Structure 1
Amino acid sequence: MKKIFISAAAFLCILASNAQVKVQYLLTENRNNPIGIDVQQPRFSWQLASDQRNIMQTAYEIVVSGAKGPIWKTGKVMGDHSVQVPYAGPALESTKKYTWQLRVWDNSDKPSAWSEPAFFQTALVKPEDGKAKWIEAGFQEDSVNRPAILFRRQFGLNGKITSATLYITAHGMYEAQINGKRVGDAYLAPGWTSYNKRLQYQAYDVTNMLTSGNNVIGGMVGNGWYRGYLAWEDNKNIYGKKLGLLVQLEITYSNGKKETIISDEKWKSSTGAIKSVEIYHGETYDARDEKIGWSATGYNDAGWSGVNLPAATYDNLIVAENEPVRKHETFKAVKLITTPAGEKVLDFGQNLVGWVIVTANGKAGDKITIKHAEVLDKQGNFYTENLRAAKATATYILKGGGEEHFEPHFTFYGFRYIKIEDYTGEINPDNFTAVALYSDMQPTGTFTSSNALINQLQHNIQWGQRGNFLDVPTDCPQRDERLGWTGDAQAFSRTATFNFGVNNFFSKWLKDVAADQEPNGSIPFVVPNVLGHNAVASAGWADVATIIPWNMYLAYGDKKILETQYPSMKAWVKYMTDSSKNDLWNHGFHFGDWLFYRPFDDNDGRAAVTDKYLIAQCFYANSVQLLINTAKVLHNAADEQMYTALLQRVKDAFVKEYVTPNGRLISGTQTAYVLALNFDMLPENLRAQAAARLVENVESYDTHLTTGFLGTPYLCHVLTRFGYNDLAYSLLLQEDYPSWLYPVKMGATTIWERWDGQKPDSSFQTPGMNSFNHYAYGAIGDWMYRKMVGLDTYEDGVGYKHIKVQPHIGGGFTNATASLKTYYGTVSSGWKIQGNTTMLDVEIPANTTATVFIPAPNAAAITEGGNALPASIKVDGSENGYVMVNIGSGSYHFAVSK
């Protein structure tokens, strides 16, 4: 065998090469290779990858190229910025594809290799770029059933096609097809916005769907949010009465020639198999009326009508910036049930949002009816009373002649169980597959612990988010509501940022918050606002205008969301100021601490009713504080000074009105003390005794919470902050009503709207308001991630640029671990107790730093990787039983033995 010798110098070169920093995960406007960008300064983000510790970026170089080569080179730019770096080159042209790549230098001044290229494609940047015309059905619509409408156009292309992009939107929900194939994998498009002010269009790369010669483009449109039933009292046609389609297809040939196909008078219209479709009521599909091949060449459309070209506005059109709704997990039935009432029911084992795909055989005219429910009643029968007026039904009529496949198009259902009716023959569960639909947010956070019930709670939190983050943050997905309730969204927003990447999701929705904001600054109860101009300005709901932008900034380090929302934030605070007298906001309608716990036996007068104006004053102060924070980030010193003075007056008014001379609040509830403490409403010298009164209240309820939507998110945070971490754990681990684990013990797979949606005797709360998929109480997740495991970000390095790791161990847990995908990479922390040793494992991504709080009496008691702390780990003092160390990127294993 031939021996190979490598010199020491060569070996070191190989090691250095292997240790070289790599650049990966390039994003443009928080998306991977997006099509349809309409900002002139798109922002670039990237990650550094290295197996070495303490890696920082010291410089970067970006090159952006068009079809003819580079158009912008930064040269070597000194700095560690790797998130949201703005493009600053020549103006970008419409419908053009650009590529970009970069390299970085690390803190050893070593350059990385150039990254793989990423790309982005611009949308219709200028108003004059839009050439398409709105089209509507050219026939008299069925105004009762309101079936979906089909639009089609045949056209010829001559030449080799190098690129083709479809820009499309609708009045209603659309599904596009080209040459008989579905375009893209988005559902419920164009999504839900305040349509009269902001109507999204989507862009799709359809290059491979077209061919030289004859082609056909088709669009199917259903009612959707545009003209469907929304809210209550026969509320429909909110944005318009007519379904419409707007299409622009941009084609480029190999010889450079361009061609544009648009929606215009050349199109035709008809109806097809979708006989009726409503979000609340479901879809009826008659396969006997399918127009086979309607979106393909060779189809005879002689019997179709033309189209109408209505007078329509185009100035509300915007390109979609958030991830679309897509299909995700699928579920096979875990059980076929024959209920005591003789019903045939399939249990999919998970409460989800989406629909069921059905495979069936039968003769023409056979019918399958599917009804949807979240729960079975105490007798085991199918239960739909809590759906209120929503029919939530899918009806399929077979055409016969072989195996047929059915699924809805323009509706969705919230369900775990389906009841099958009108089905002839034996039911085969394998013929029914449930599929989850939700916005295509990247899963980012994981959490697990030594407690199986808490792990199920985390599962329920995530599935509550999946089911209700369906283009807008809905309150619930099953009954005749499904609206973008602002209070629910703000309460859960920080938890949401951990579990999924919701930067674009909330950025889009917050623009609708601002769009639907009233001229006087008041914020609606729901956004998009379908409840009217008077359904506005409830404390804790309207504060969504300030709370979510700040939470997004903390979680993602995205300053643009603050810049965009700042006028809306200021307008909401101005409304509260204008509505106040002597700095006290104490009038108007407020929901208060919604769905707080009410004791079954209230003879002792302990009902947890918190004064609504006390709550309002707390949220007023919090919104002012968030404006101070935002003004500081935006370098607006004048506003910072003005709001600082206002905040002091608001807090003084609170103390004068709601606090006795001895420091007792006029409402002695948990929520009152939680909000007063969380928002620092009390002078420093009164806070400790207020925290003690909170503890006294919790203990008076046998260590149970009594908080509702507004108090619950902060309850455990306040207890931990004021030194009552054991009590926070006791509340987390409480298993009987009211508690987070009570629904888990009752078999829940999502978060409930009410603490006792299903009572201990298996009967239900009032069906008028009893959702079993309502995420607000899932806000406890934020405490689990940021306090229990201790994974957090500092405000001097938001977006996890400067990471804080401070675990709070307790509750009898032997381990708890969380990980989070940030824009810099994955950060994780996990603690474990084994015998007399406490272990803390931490992973810090490149280009970030962390301050880690290690539970230890002193630095000498800590080992890292089995050895004493090395010099590269800087000890930064100790406090409250922790030793603080500063570390750079890398993986660390700390251990402390008693």
Structure 2
Amino acid sequence: MALSIAQVSFEHHRTALGIAESTPRISWRFDGNASNWYQGAYELEIGRGGQADTFRVNSSDSVLVPWPSDPLQSGEEATVRVRSFGRQHADTPWSDLFTVEPGLLTEEDWQGAAAIASDRPTEEDSPHRPIYFRKDFSVDEDILSARLYITALGIYEAQLNGERVGDLVLAPGWQSYTHRHEYNTYDVTDLLRNGENALGVTVGEGWYSGRLGWDGNRNFYGDTLGVLCLLSVTTSGGTTTYIPSDETWQSSTGPIVSSEIYNGEEYNSTLEIDGWALPGFDASGWLGTLEIEFDKAVLAAPDAPPVRRIEERRLENVFSSGSGKTVLDFGQNVVGWLRVRVRGPRGSTIRFVHTEVMENGEVATRPLRTAKATDNLTLSGEEQEWEPSFTFHGFRFVEVDGWPEETELNADSITAIVIHTDMEQTGFFNCSNPLLNKLHENIIWSMRGNFLSIPTDCPQRDERLGWTGDIHAFARTANFIYNTAGFLRGWLKDAYSEQQENEYAPPSVIPNILGPTTGSSIWGDSIIAVPWALFQSYGDKAMLREQYPGAQDWIDKGVLRNEVGLWNRSSFQYADWLDPLAPADSPGAATTNAYLVSDAYLIHSTELLANISAYLSLTDNAEKYTHDRATLTRAFRTAWISNNGTVANETQTGLTLPLYFNLFATPSHYTSAVSRLRAIISANDYKVGTGFAGTHLLGHTLSKYNAAPTFYNMLLQEEVPGWLFQVVMNGTTTWERWDSMLPNGSVNPGQMTSFNHYAVGSVGSWMHENIGGLSPAEPGWRRFNVDVRPGGGLRSAEARFLSAYGAVEVRWWVVGGDGGNSRGCERFRMVVTVPPNTEAVVNIPGRVDGGSRGRKVVGSGVHRFESCLD
């Protein structure tokens, strides 16, 4: 295949309209299987203002290279194309043209636009009824281009001349609004008319002023719904006209009576206002607006892709519950809402209750706790199509009450709409074991459901918060499956801001709605571990530099220490949260000492900070934290490891952490500890004995010490607690508890019983790296490992990762018996695809010809390997 450039991106944006950077770094991805191809130079053609300039750079870099031209101005569009020159081989042709355009880079660029609210009383302790805003305006010249810059005090949908603006949902998403409040940029050129126009915006409470958390509190960021926007119109005469949000706008309420994140939406079709966002609409009965205080200094362009409708799921079954109620089954636990096509008596109401599972023949609402997850649609009397606007649900099953006889209830009348942050899927996995494939599919579905604006714990109950411990455990897996670079970079900016307000300790949830708190290990350590995992995947030193002050503050000032520098023994710790032996009503009652766990993670985080310091060329800091790590390790041994190498808590987690973090004193201690860990696992019938602290590291630890067969036995365990128990119990996402559903089909009696949590899905990284064999050998995947560990009875597997350089692929299979030859062994065969400008370090399992074990470093192209398995 001829070598070409398949994609050009800016910072971490595939679509670079309205970005925050005036000098965005540029990356390009290759397509084609050129053999041993390395870039020697590149050219960038930058087109702006009708003129194109070409910049040639002698460099092998093709990811996050510096912007070569003058800084872009607010709203200035540039076109970019790239071509690469091989060191000794063929050059690429020019890429397609890609556009990049910053948003509004200064407060002054907002041209006096103000945040406005409706001139009506504000609800204080009740749900905020969504507000409809509108503005008439005229454009008297031919339109060359138009941009709408918009955000809300709440979440919004915009219309221009009655047409929906863009395809974002729940915009602008959830940020730590007091520190970083995102706005969105839309190209609305094709929606404008020469003459009279109308701009309409509907705003719901969302996360801004809606209820958040299990205590029923609301109005965390403000108690008033509002909109802030600027429409910029450039005409053929060369002038730019601005239509800002101000007190000349009008406001009203409409058919959305309420729309809450937890409780759902109430929509009354009889209150619809025809043509309210069209020019010429009679708004004489509407209220005015008033300006409200808003600090434009916190406005920010998004780092992450937006939340969008991603997929539609057909209804699979309609059945009656045990009590005779109508229930819909979509066959998959999803996050989103329903689209309803219906006709029924005017004023009649349909009620939809969303749940993840059934229990005792009925929809199981108890795991929702106080969240109602209920939508109510009052019909217009005409045929209509409806979706909720400002809520979302986690569900597979929906109980329906009040469905009209006039419409048949089937897959044509109801569809499930799947939403999540629109990240690019980069990781793919398949193997010869169908149950493992289903497990991996479930992991992906849980990530999709919980990567919705922020990385949440669960998407269905009265929580849905950005728990830092969960993403700490899952980041390594997440970064393979989807491109999370922008998504997590934005969230980490909020994490740092919230940390500074919490006496240098990262709060347990980001954005923080739980108030001031002392830091705890693992959850607090995410301020170091998540940036480190991001850096391994994307090699972005700028992101690492952004997060470095927070990492230092946590280690230097945030950790509550005792006299030897380890964790204070009176500090609160989540530690090995949801250990499988923890009682249903006490999820933190783990079998491994909380301070053993916390001390181990403190040492690991100190080591990571030393590594980060080294990558950022902060030599003195790297030496300091390396020394601190050694001092803490000695203190850890004194506190937790006996002279003969025995750990105070000989549990799966208690042994995994000092093994993985290299905390033992002698080689014999490591050897003995691995043997004891394997024995404990075997005695437990290969069932999982770890919670949040140990689960994501258990498999990697066993592989590190050549005990991957032991972990294969655990991975393939179909009884509880184990990953495949959830699969054989017909789970379609990964669960919060190992036994969120008990073997008898009843729901765990504890409160923490979500059926869509990604933390235990962290096993995905072991599957990618050991069954698929793929991991970065250096940050950013320019050099990567291929290290397949066959086992578990698997006869074949394939893994694919779409790196910043191009597609990395491994496909392997085992030919049984003598494989048609006289060697009498099973033959392992593998095909590895290495993208241009990269190289792979390939470890070949078994014996290659000559009896040696194989390790080869190969450049780009397709490579084939074969060996004899012992």
Q: Tell me the TM-score normalized by structure 1.
A: 0.93
Residue pair 1:488, 1:709 contacting (<8 A) in 2 also: yes
Residue pair 2:797, 2:812 contacting (<8 A) in 1 also: yes
1:214 aligns with 2:185: no
Q: Secondary structure at the match of 1:74?
A: strand
Letter in 2 for 1:170: A
Q: Deviations over 1:52-94 (max 9, x none)?
A: 3111111111122211313x5432x222100001214223211
| 2-structure distance, mates of 1:56, 1:664 | 50
Q: Which of residues 682, 687, 710 is equivalent to 1:727?
A: 710
Letter in 1 for 2:516: H
Residue pair 1:608, 1:706 contacting (<8 A) in 2 also: no
Equivalent residue for 1:123?
103
| CA positional deviation for 1:255 | 2.5
| 2-structure distance, mates of 1:182, 1:356 | 19
Residue pair 2:773, 2:786 contacting (<8 A) in 1 also: yes
Q: Secondary structure at the match of 1:264?
A: coil
Equivalent residue for 1:226?
208
Equivalent residue for 1:13?
none
Letter in 2 for 1:218: G
Residue pair 1:376, 1:382 contacting (<8 A) in 2 also: yes
| 2-structure distance, mates of 1:363, 1:599 | 52
1:277 aligns with 2:259: yes
| CA positional deviation for 1:720 | 1.3
| 2-structure distance, mates of 1:608, 1:506 | 29
| CA positional deviation for 1:788 | 2.0
Q: Deviations over 1:161-189 (max 9, x none)?
A: 11111000011011111000111111111
| 1-structure distance, mates of 2:92, 2:708 | 45
Change (3 A) 1:600 1:28: closer
| CA positional deviation for 1:576 | 4.9
Q: Secondary structure at the match of 2:751?
A: helix
- Larger CA deviation: 368-377 vs 757-766: 757-766
The correspondence of residues 484-495 of structure 1 with structure 2, limited to 5 A, is 484-495=466-477
Q: Deviations over 1:314-367 (max 9, x none)?
A: 111111121000011211111111111111001000000000101110121011
Residue pair 1:859, 1:883 contacting (<8 A) in 2 also: no
Q: Secondary structure at the match of 1:260?
A: strand
1:828 aligns with 2:828: no
| 2-structure distance, mates of 1:98, 1:56 | 28
The correspondence of residues 446-457 of structure 1 with structure 2, limited to 5 A, is 446-457=428-439
1:184 aligns with 2:155: no
Residue pair 2:33, 2:836 contacting (<8 A) in 1 also: no
Residue pair 1:586, 1:616 contacting (<8 A) in 2 also: no
Residue pair 1:385, 1:767 contacting (<8 A) in 2 also: no
Q: Which of residues 360, 369, 372 is equivalent to 2:342?
A: 360
| 2-structure distance, mates of 1:810, 1:51 | 30
1:844 aligns with 2:834: yes
| 1-structure distance, mates of 2:107, 2:139 | 26
1:889 aligns with 2:860: yes
Equivalent residue for 1:249?
231
Q: Which of residues 513, 528, 532 is equivalent to 1:530?
A: 513
Residue pair 1:462, 1:499 contacting (<8 A) in 2 also: yes
Give 4+ residue runs of structure 1 displaced > 6 Å after superposition.
none
Q: Secondary structure at the match of 1:760?
A: coil
| 1-structure distance, mates of 2:771, 2:834 | 18
Residue pair 2:577, 2:590 contacting (<8 A) in 1 also: no
Letter in 1 for 2:747: F
Q: Tell me the TM-score normalized by structure 2.
A: 0.96
Q: Secondary structure at the match of 1:517?
A: helix
1:392 aligns with 2:382: no
| CA positional deviation for 1:38 | 2.1
Q: Secondary structure at the match of 1:371?
A: strand
Q: Secondary structure at the match of 1:542?
A: coil
Residue pair 1:608, 1:670 contacting (<8 A) in 2 also: no
| CA positional deviation for 1:577 | 5.4
Residue pair 1:463, 1:750 contacting (<8 A) in 2 also: yes
Change (3 A) 1:555 1:165: same
Equivalent residue for 2:794?
813
Residue pair 1:249, 1:260 contacting (<8 A) in 2 also: yes
Q: Deviations over 1:423-454 (max 9, x none)?
A: 23265222110011000011111101110100
- Larger CA deviation: 823-832 vs 108-117: 108-117
Q: Secondary structure at the match of 1:829?
A: strand
Q: Where do 5+ consecutive residues of structure 2 fail to align?
A: 817-825
Change (3 A) 1:126 1:600: closer
Q: Deviations over 1:112-145 (max 9, x none)?
A: 3222211101111122112211100112245545
Letter in 1 for 2:402: D
| 2-structure distance, mates of 1:52, 1:230 | 53
1:87 aligns with 2:67: yes
Q: Secondary structure at the match of 2:296?
A: coil
Q: Which of residues 742, 763, 775 is equivalent to 1:780?
A: 763
| CA positional deviation for 1:787 | 1.6
| CA positional deviation for 1:599 | 8.0
1:854 aligns with 2:844: yes
Equivalent residue for 2:316?
334
Letter in 1 for 2:252: S
| 2-structure distance, mates of 1:735, 1:360 | 43
- Larger CA deviation: 250-259 vs 210-219: 250-259
Equivalent residue for 2:529?
547
Letter in 2 for 1:480: D
Equivalent residue for 2:595?
613
Equivalent residue for 1:263?
245
CA RMSD of superposed structures (Å): 1.6
The correspondence of residues 416-815 of structure 1 with structure 2, limited to 5 A, is 416-425=396-405, 427-430=408-411, 431-519=413-501, 520-534=503-517, 536-576=518-558, 579-587=561-569, 588-598=571-581, 609-685=591-667, 686-795=669-778, 798-815=779-796
1:39 aligns with 2:39: no
| 1-structure distance, mates of 2:582, 2:246 | 63
- Larger CA deviation: 651-660 vs 679-688: 679-688
Q: Deviations over 1:522-546 (max 9, x none)?
A: 0101000000012x41111111100
Change (3 A) 1:27 1:600: closer
Equivalent residue for 1:875?
none
| 1-structure distance, mates of 2:398, 2:582 | 34
Equivalent residue for 1:867?
none
Q: Secondary structure at the match of 1:737?
A: coil
| 1-structure distance, mates of 2:369, 2:90 | 64
| 2-structure distance, mates of 1:829, 1:842 | 5
Letter in 2 for 1:418: V
Letter in 1 for 2:859: G
> Identity across aligned pairs (percent)?
38
Count of residue pairs brought into register by the alignment: 849
Letter in 2 for 1:687: Y
| CA positional deviation for 1:109 | 5.5
Letter in 1 for 2:92: S
Change (3 A) 1:758 1:577: closer
Residue pair 1:350, 1:416 contacting (<8 A) in 2 also: yes
Q: Secondary structure at the match of 1:752?
A: coil
Residue pair 1:58, 1:109 contacting (<8 A) in 2 also: no
The correspondence of residues 56-205 of structure 1 with structure 2, limited to 5 A, is 56-70=38-52, 73-75=54-56, 77-108=57-88, 110-131=90-111, 132-141=113-122, 144-205=126-187
Residue pair 2:12, 2:303 contacting (<8 A) in 1 also: no
| 2-structure distance, mates of 1:305, 1:463 | 44
Q: Secondary structure at the match of 1:626?
A: helix
Residue pair 1:145, 1:275 contacting (<8 A) in 2 also: no
| 2-structure distance, mates of 1:805, 1:109 | 25
Equivalent residue for 1:5?
none
| 1-structure distance, mates of 2:582, 2:620 | 48
